[in-house]
Amino acid sequence: MREIYSFPTKQEASPIKVICADPKFLLPKVIRALKDVTIKEEGYVGWGFYFGTNFTIRGHVYSPEDGVVYPFELEGRGKGGGKVTLLVHENQVTVEFQYEGWKFTPLMGTVIRGWLKKFGEEFDEQVTLERIKRKI
């Protein structure tokens, strides 16, 4: 499954990349079923609850020049893997969610599309608040 959502932004590219490279900020906003994320020396680990099942997610963060990439492995009653990619262009952000494996159903695509749309709607406000908090 692959879902892509683009939206306009008034934010500058540099602060977006800094803030969105933090898994504690970005992942729960994109993967809304995620309840907590911990940064580890080897990457990040998180847990959540999706359609009646607990799951864990783990992975790394990569920061190419034009955005942020989060490859991940997901484990609950089964296993799966995927990637969240955030690309920052002038006045536009594109977020891509890719996933294959456990709990994959056609309904999941609909849920993910809703999460990405909500992420886009709240993005400027959330980044502004985070910039104030971090004094960026």
pLDDT, average across residues 82-90: 95
Q: Strand ranges (DSSP E) for the chain?
A: 2-8, 34-40, 43-50, 53-59, 67-75, 79-89, 92-101
pLDDT tens sequence across 92-136: 999 999 999 876 677 788 999 999 999 999 999 999 999 999 998
pTM: 0.91
Give me the domains of the chain, ranges plus CATH numbers: 2-134 (3.30.530.20)
Check pLDDT > 70 for residue 31. Answer: yes
Query: Which residues, 6 or more positions from 20, have their beta carbon under 8 angstroms from its beta carbon?
Result: 26, 67, 68, 86, 88
In percent, how much of the chain has pLDDT > 90? 85
Per-residue pLDDT, 104? 66
